[in-house]
Structure 1
Amino acid sequence: MAITPDASRSSPAPQTLGFLLLDNFTLISLASAIEPLRMANQLAGRELYRWYTLSLDGAPVRASDGLQVTPDASTAVPLALDMVIVCGGVGPNRSVQREHVIWLQSQARLSRRLGSVCTGSWALAKAGLLDGYETSIHWECLAAMQEAFPRVALTTRLFSIDRDRATSSGGTAPLDMMLNLISRDHGRELSAGISEMFIYDRVRGEQDQQRVPLKHVLGTTQPKLLEIVALMEANLEEPIGLDELAHYVDVSRRQLERLFQKYLHCSPSRYYLKLRLTRARQLLKQTPMSIIEVASACGFVSTPHFSKCYREYFGIPPRDERLGIGGKTTRSVPLGAEQGALLKHTQVEAPSQDLVSSAVLALAQAQGEPTYASVPL
């Protein structure tokens, strides 16, 4: 059923997002961020979100796979944006220009929310807009970014939502971030409907981690440590004692503990426990195994001990994890008055030419779909 003019006027104005494309951005991350917005509009039967792709001069931008995307506008076009998301990819240190930094800083002064996908966090950090914020970036850039921007609170999480910043790693992780943002804005029913349309079995949360290859973290300088971790990963159901691990790689127990403290910043037993609990979380979320079976498969001698360790590490008991009840999350700080006003007034300011968001065209095409307006809000 089409939206009547009266209904359109009575509906809240859509939130408007600008996607700033850096050279060599990853196309999969851009699509993962925009597609949930399109589907949110389709399922709601009205325009909850609108979006524009942007570049410095409005000229086509080449993605890392060689395809070119022609942006909707240049950054010089005045748009009333609620949020700006930087889309990065290969070589962000080469792609981020002085003009990007200046424009992003101007958006921050307008109290607009800021975000990134893949390696877009690099641009925000270079603009000084992530100092003190928990930040996610693709694991390939973790070490370099920590070195370049020590004031940024980097994490290996798939995505991070910290106050008015939302940063995501690469691949399909932006899809999870956007689904979580949509859930906050319009409820879990809409977010669940979107994931069903995309045949997306599980929406990952803020506590889910990137799987960072240890070889990337350590390089080839610590073969003994890599060998020990490989042994741990291969023996989660029946954990090997630390003395035995040390013997396998021909080091002393003391040397073993020093290696872990120096390079992984924790004790060997703590790291081994983390591996087992991470595996347990995967089994709880992805299999029908009982909690007792999961505990046994991850090397815990009793279910109460497993539950205690799980709660201490993830902030949530295994039973609640299986039911999808949230545990530790980054607290969402309420928007200030100026930001709230921006959310209510998201109409496009009159640019030099009429600019139509892709959201409007997509919504018009979707009106013939069986799922149109299938999630009442």
Structure 2
Amino acid sequence: MSAAAAIEPVRAANLVGGSELYRAIFLSPEGEHIRSSCGGVFETKAFGAAPEHLDMIFVIAGANPFLVNPAHYANFLRRHASRGSILGGVSGGAVILARLGLLETCRFTVHWEHIDALLEENPDHLIEKRLFVIDRKRATCAGGVAPLDMMHALIRTHFGQPLADSVSDWFIHTRVRTAEEAQLLINQEHVDLHPQIAAAVRLMQDHIAEPLPIERIAHLASLSPRQMLRGFRESFGQTVNRFYTDLRLQKANELLRQTRLPVSQVAIATGFSNQSSFARAFQDKYGARPKDWRKRAER
């Protein structure tokens, strides 16, 4: 289920988009035939036969990923991470990435049945109980059909809302879920947002650590910058920039309260260029500098 939900959206994007927007290849350490849990077989290439550059690499693991020896994947994944590839974990795939140290200082998620075991190994893991998390060069999801929602978010970022919606319609996936499904960042009084404004908000939610330029968000949401500015003022009573900054500061607040991540890393994880600008913005919103806020929350 997880493998198909991750792979099929990119195939559909090519079909709906009318050109080869994505090219998928299947890899394993030795290039074996890999049998999935449903009995289907994937014909894979060995890691050594992989192209020099891969835009995205998704580790897909079902059953018990703690039984997998992560050393078999270490050199390959670390090499491509150093080359700037996006690393993703689907279902238990994030367990393998985490145990290789490839998710340090990154927010991520994993199938719910593996969360407690991962935290037992390392309480400092920044695990979030969400459908998916996209944090800089890492994209992880909880498995099952959650990859459909994550791939919708990635396609939306790469090629815009209309194509992402067309792919979801192709699969009759008519209620695309956000990463924050269990605890929506869009307040309940805003459930009737215009679809394009809602798309802009989702893009912001998916790009906390590496904020997208406002013009890029507007383009991907099929809005003009002026339409987006007016829509945010009407829906939220805020400018677009203020809304986006508040969204990032809310995530910073959560990380300060729930993790032991250094303040400098919290700043990076929420898209601030340096610790001083983060501290000023945080104090403006919450009335205290990040370190003082954390101490107060721990009392």
| Interval of TM-score (by shorter of Structure 1 and Structure 2) | 0.5 to 0.7
For 2:98, the equivalent position in structure 1 comes to 125
Change (3 A) 1:154 1:181: same
Q: Secondary structure of 2:98's partner? A: helix
Q: Which of 177, 190, 196 in structure 2 is aligned with 1:204?
A: 177
Q: Does the CA-based 8 Å contact 1:84-1:114 persist in structure 2?
A: yes
**Once the 2 structures are TM-superposed, how far is the Cα of residue 321 of structure 1 from its aligned partner?**
2.5
* Matches of 1:125 and 1:192, distance apart in 2: 31
For 1:47, the equivalent position in structure 2 comes to 20
**Once the 2 structures are TM-superposed, how far is the Cα of residue 319 of structure 1 from its aligned partner?**
4.2
Amino acid at match of 2:191: E
Q: Does the CA-based 8 Å contact 1:104-1:127 persist in structure 2?
A: no
Amino acid at match of 1:182: I
Q: Highest CA radius of gyration, 1 or 2?
A: 1
For 1:187, the equivalent position in structure 2 comes to 160
Q: Secondary structure of 1:38's partner? A: helix
Q: Equivalent residues in 2 for 1:1-377 (5 A)?
A: 28-71=1-44, 73-79=45-51, 80-209=53-182, 314-323=184-193, 324=195, 325=198, 326=201, 329=205, 330-333=207-210
Q: Secondary structure of 2:25's partner? A: strand
Structure 2 gaps of 5+ residues are 213-299
Q: Does the CA-based 8 Å contact 1:81-1:112 persist in structure 2?
A: yes
Q: Which protein is richer in helix relative to its size?
A: 2
Q: TM-score, normalised by structure 2?
A: 0.64
Percentage of matched positions with identical amino acids: 36
> When the two structures are aligned, how many residues end up with a matched partner?
204
Partner deviation per Cα, 1:274-324 (whole Å, 9 max, x = no partner): xxxx6xxxxxxxxxxxxxxxxxxxxxxxxxxxxxxxxxxx44332433334
**Once the 2 structures are TM-superposed, how far is the Cα of residue 190 of structure 1 from its aligned partner?**
0.5
Q: Secondary structure of 2:26's partner? A: strand
Change (3 A) 1:334 1:47: farther
Name the Cα RMSD after superposition. Answer: 1.9
Partner deviation per Cα, 1:346-365 (whole Å, 9 max, x = no partner): xxxxxxxxxxxxxxxxxxxx
**Once the 2 structures are TM-superposed, how far is the Cα of residue 151 of structure 1 from its aligned partner?**
3.0
**Once the 2 structures are TM-superposed, how far is the Cα of residue 134 of structure 1 from its aligned partner?**
0.9
Greater relative contact order (CA < 8 Å, ≥ 6 in sequence): 1
**Once the 2 structures are TM-superposed, how far is the Cα of residue 29 of structure 1 from its aligned partner?**
0.7
Q: TM-score, normalised by structure 1?
A: 0.51
Change (3 A) 1:102 1:155: same
**Once the 2 structures are TM-superposed, how far is the Cα of residue 69 of structure 1 from its aligned partner?**
1.9
Structure 1 gaps of 5+ residues are 1-27, 210-277, 279-313, 336-377
**Once the 2 structures are TM-superposed, how far is the Cα of residue 334 of structure 1 from its aligned partner?**
6.5
Change (3 A) 1:334 1:111: farther
* Matches of 1:315 and 1:136, distance apart in 2: 17
Amino acid at match of 2:48: A
